[in-house]
């Protein structure tokens, strides 16, 4: 358990920010790193050729450490968005006519849309698995896997309400039928340890601006070693072997070879001088806290929220199936349509996602007082 960490963020008194799944606030140290980074671009003579590579390698190493499970910097590519990472996966996982892709209904479009498009192209079927009444997505997924399944693209938890998916079990079953697994860890990595060695995903990616506490437009893609000879979706100079030597960039013959490991999947302008130092500062803080400690600290707040919410007649995914950092509060007669706006008027911030839940996602800057304020405000909207 961590003590409250609000002093490390710039959150004014009176603001109850319970919406990390939308976008995290920046740590003060991340803001400072960004300000230094922007100022550096004013003096490009201070940016050396080595700088194009050194910070990126540091970010890869930190992300690999956070992911754990034996991942190393060479397994990590830099991506601008989850949709980009998903497009890399789509381009590298075999899919043919008659096969199927398993997806969860109401999942985030950056997961769904690339696979729907790819399935259309080859005559495969993109299946949207229906939401189970009892929140047991794992059972629904296991029941759907068969010999036609080529790939499943899944999160560790549903982004609308935090309902968990047992990825180690699902991965084992997918391996039995020879299917691939792509994981969107955007809403889990940074707040929950990831069992990489058990899951062995083909690809795993996370946008960086939520639970990784980083800037917008910089995320990470883990690529299993078995795909590290795969096909990039764009051809930029920096993924080419020898790109460190700026004097011979137009030696196109040599440049046919790509840099080792997952680096071949890096987005162009990978070095991203403004944002990379921010991502690094954020990952360093997460590693200092420890991901498990972050999750357990938040769990105290989400457990208290669910208990208090039950007293006013609101339901949530049962504790055994709910992620530690995530609650979707269900209203028996539906979420009042203007609830987020009414809460925002009191400077309390949460989101409505999917069809039926108020999504409440605290972090280590929140305290029990924020939960009290939220419950009080919901009570007054409903009375
Ligand atoms: C589950 C999930 N995946 C991914 C994203 C972000 O996707 P992208 O980086 O493609 O905008 C979000 C944003 O809300 C999300 O909730």
pLDDT, one tens digit per residue, over 289-309 is 999 999 999 999 999 999 999
User: Starting at the edge strand that comes first in sequence, how are the strands of the sheet with 357-360 ordered?
Assistant: 327-330, 357-360, 351-353
Residue 222, pLDDT score = 99
Q: Whose CA is nearest to atom 7 of ligand 1?
A: 82
Mean pLDDT computed over every residue of the chain: 96
CA angle 224, 230, 231 (to 5 degrees): 140
Residue 143, pLDDT score = 98
Please identify which residue in the block is written with the tokens 């500062």. Answer: 281
DSSP 367: -
Do residues 74 and 211 make contact, with C-beta atoms less than 8 angstroms apart? Answer: no
Please identify which residue in the block is written with the tokens 């390698």. Answer: 57
For the stretch 28-83, pLDDT in tens is: 999 999 999 999 999 999 999 999 999 999 999 999 999 999 999 999 999 999 99
Distance between CA atoms of residues 275 and 215, nearest Å: 6
Distance between CA atoms of residues 55 and 50, nearest Å: 9
Distance between CA atoms of residues 82 and 360, nearest Å: 22
Ligand 1: residue of 187, 212, 216, 267 to mutate (most ligand atoms within 8 A of CB) is: 187
Length, in residues, of the chain: 383
Distance between CA atoms of residues 328 and 336, nearest Å: 14
**CA 207 / ligand 1 centre spacing (Å):** 6
For the stretch 194-216, pLDDT in tens is: 999 999 999 999 999 999 999 99
Do residues 284 and 99 make contact, with C-beta atoms less than 8 angstroms apart? Answer: no
> Atom of ligand 1 at shortest distance to CA of 84?
10
For the stretch 314-368, pLDDT in tens is: 999 999 999 999 999 999 989 998 999 999 999 999 999 876 799 999 999 999 9
Distance between CA atoms of residues 101 and 151, nearest Å: 5
DSSP letter string, 93-127: S---TT-EEEEETT--HHHHHHHHHHHHHHT-EEE
* 33 sits in which H/E element: helix 28-41
Q: Please give the model's pTM, rounded to 2 decimal places.
A: 0.97
Q: Is the CB of 83 under 6 A from ligand 1?
A: yes
* 153 sits in which H/E element: strand 149-155
pLDDT of 255 strictly over 60: no
**CA 325 / ligand 1 centre spacing (Å):** 17
Distance between CA atoms of residues 19 and 53, nearest Å: 34
**Helix pair angle (109-122, 82-92), 10° resolution:** 30
| 138: its two tokens | 């794992």
Ligand 1: residue of 159, 206, 220, 357 to mutate (most ligand atoms within 8 A of CB) is: 159
Three-class secondary structure of residue 289 per DSSP: helix
**CA 158 / ligand 1 centre spacing (Å):** 12
For the stretch 136-192, pLDDT in tens is: 999 999 999 999 999 999 999 999 999 999 999 999 999 999 999 999 999 999 999
For the stretch 101-143, pLDDT in tens is: 999 999 999 999 999 999 999 999 999 999 999 999 999 999 9
């Amino acid at each position: 358990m961590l003590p409250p960490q609000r002093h490390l963020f710039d959150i004014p008194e009176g603001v109850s920010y319970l919406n990390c799944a939308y976008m995290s606030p920046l740590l003060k140290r991340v803001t400072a790193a960004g300000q230094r980074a922007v100022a550096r671009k004013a003096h490009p003579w201070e940016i050396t050729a080595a700088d194009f590579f050194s910070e990126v390698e540091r970010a890869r190493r930190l992300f690999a450490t956070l992911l754990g499970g034996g991942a190393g910097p060479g397994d990590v590519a830099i991506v601008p968005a989850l949709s980009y990472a998903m497009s890399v996966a789509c381009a590298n996982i075999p899919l043919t006519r008659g096969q199927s892709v398993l997806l969860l209904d109401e999942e985030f479009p950056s997961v769904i849309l690339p696979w729907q498009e790819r399935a259309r192209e080859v005559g495969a079927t993109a299946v949207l698995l229906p939401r189970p009444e009892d929140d047991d997505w794992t059972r629904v997924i296991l029941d759907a896997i068969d010999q036609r399944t080529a790939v499943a693209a899944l999160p560790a938890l549903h982004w609308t309400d935090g309902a968990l998916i047992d990825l180690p079990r699902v991965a084992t079953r997918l391996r039995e039928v020879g299917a691939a697994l792509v994981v969107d860890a955007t809403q889990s990595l940074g707040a929950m340890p990831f069992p990489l060695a058990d899951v062995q995903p083909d690809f795993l990616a996370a946008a960086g601006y939520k639970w990784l506490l980083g800037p917008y437009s910089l995320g990470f893609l883990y690529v299993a070693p078995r795909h590290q000879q795969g096909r990039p979706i764009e051809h930029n100079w920096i993924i080419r072997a020898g790109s460190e030597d700026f004097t011979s960039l137009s030696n196109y013959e040599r440049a046919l070879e790509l840099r080792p490991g997952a680096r071949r999947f890096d987005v162009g302008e990978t070095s991203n001088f403004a944002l990379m130092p921010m991502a690094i500062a954020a990952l360093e803080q997460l590693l200092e806290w420890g991901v498990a400690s972050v999750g357990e600290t938040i769990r105290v707040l989400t457990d208290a929220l669910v208990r208090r919410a039950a007293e006013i007649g609101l339901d949530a995914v049962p504790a055994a199936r709910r992620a530690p950092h995530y609650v979707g509060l269900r209203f028996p007669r539906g979420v009042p349509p203007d609830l987020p706006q009414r809460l925002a008027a009191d400077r309390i911030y949460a989101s409505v996602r999917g069809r039926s839940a108020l999504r409440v996602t605290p972090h280590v800057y929140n305290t029990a007082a924020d939960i009290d304020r939220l419950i009080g405000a919901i009570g007054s909207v409903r009375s």
